[in-house]
Amino acid sequence: MTSPEIPALTRTVRQHPDLALTLTETGPAGGPLALVLHGGGGPGTVQGVAAHLAVRHGMRAVVPTHPGWSGTPRPDRFTRIDDLALAYLRLLGEEEGREVLVVGSSLGGWIGAEMAVRDDGARIRSLVLIDAVGVAVPGEPVRDVLGLRPDELAAYSFHDPARFAVDPGTLTEDRIAARRADMATMRVLAGEPYMHDPTLLDRLDRVSIPTLVLWGESDRVVTPAYGRAYAAAFARARFETIPEAGHLPQIERPAETFAALDTHLASLTPTPTP
């Protein structure tokens, strides 16, 4: 079962003269804060997660559009995933976020992991990574997706590519240009070294907050073996697979993905009231 459509508000927060963050917010204004981070496919790939958190858990789920995606401007100085991680940590402070849930899909998972390493538990209460990239695992390289056609990307990304494959011949010039722009941004931020920070895996044991690492069993972009190694590097992480799902289980198997997310949230120990 997918989450129902609920109203979402889009606003812009300017952190610097050259940096404006586009945020789409779902859920009650006074609810606990959840930051939901998208991957290369753009913010639409995680809006279902945000809606579920808002409806089922009463959270204020905020989905930033990473600068450079969906036609948003990217400062020239933003050339690393670290730049996004630091901007979003600052955002948590500006939003007066406490005990924040951070959920990241694919590239968004990498950003979330970098945030958690730096936060040291100050604002982030829990971390959920969904088929995340960002680390180097010997023998399990991240597939190079930057030059793939949409139909080729679907073949690697989904358990059932026929349901989600896009015929390149049906794409408008505007959609083709938008996808190329998104991929160009991803190449700047994560193209060298490709889709990872060589030091991140060894730094993850600093993260002591409860972490859930979710993985589609059929992911051929980053394999389940890659995900297990990712989870094992954290101090407190649980690894769980989603059957009959690929790189985007929240789209291919939303009910199973949301059920795993619900179980994780239910397991968190409430913070004692002073």
Domain that holds residue 82: 8-267
pLDDT at 273: 44
**Percent of the chain beyond pLDDT 90?**
81
pLDDT at 3: 46
Lowest mean pLDDT among 29-38, 78-87, 142-151, 220-229: 142-151
Across the chain, what does the average pLDDT equal? 93
Over residues 45-72, the mean pLDDT reads 96
Indicate the pLDDT class of residue 174, thresholds 50, 70 and 90.
confident
Structural domain tally of the chain?
A: 1
Whether 262 maps to a domain, the answer reads yes
pLDDT at 151: 83
Whether 164 maps to a domain, the answer reads yes
Whether 114 maps to a domain, the answer reads yes
Whether 37 maps to a domain, the answer reads yes
Over residues 149-165, the mean pLDDT reads 88
Report d(CA 211, CA 166) in Å as an integer.
Answer: 33
Instruction: Give the strand pairing for 124-130 and 211-216.
Output: parallel
Whether 258 maps to a domain, the answer reads yes
Chain centroid to CA 120: how far?
19
Other Cβ atoms less than 10 A from the Cβ of 177: the count is: 12
pLDDT per residue over 99-126, tens digit each?
999 999 999 999 999 999 999 889 999 9
Comparing C-alpha atoms, which of 14, 166, 123 is closest to residue 75?
Answer: 14
Instruction: Give the strand pairing for 237-242 and 19-26.
Output: unpaired
Whether 273 maps to a domain, the answer reads no
Task: With a cut of 90, say whether residue 269 has pLDDT above it.
Answer: no
Task: With a cut of 60, say whether residue 265 has pLDDT above it.
Answer: yes
Can you give the pTM of this predicted structure? 0.94
Over residues 136-156, the mean pLDDT reads 92
pLDDT per residue over 192-245, tens digit each?
999 999 999 999 999 999 999 999 999 999 999 999 999 999 999 999 999 999
Task: With a cut of 60, say whether residue 44 has pLDDT above it.
Answer: yes
pLDDT per residue over 19-42, tens digit each?
999 999 999 988 999 999 999 999
Other Cβ atoms less than 10 A from the Cβ of 70: the count is: 16
Q: What is the 3-state secondary structure (H, E, C) of the chain?
A: CCCCCCCEEEEEEEEECCEEEEEEEECCCCCCEEEEECCCCCHHHCHHHHHHHHHHHCCEEEEEECCCCCCCCCCCCCCCHHHHHHHHHHHHHHCCCCCEEEEEECHHHHHHHHHHHHHCCCCEEEEEEECCCECCCCCCCCCCCCCCCHHHHHHHHCCCHHHHCCCHHHCCHHHHHHHHHHHHHHHHHHECCECECCCHHHHHHHCCCCEEEEEECCCCCCCHHHHHHHHHCCCCEEEEEECCCCCCHHHHCHHHHHHHHHHHHHHCCCCCCC
Task: With a cut of 60, say whether residue 1 has pLDDT above it.
Answer: no
CATH of residue 72: 3.40.50.1820
**Percent of the chain beyond pLDDT 70?**
95
Whether 3 maps to a domain, the answer reads no
Task: With a cut of 60, say whether residue 75 has pLDDT above it.
Answer: yes
pLDDT at 5: 59
Whether 274 maps to a domain, the answer reads no
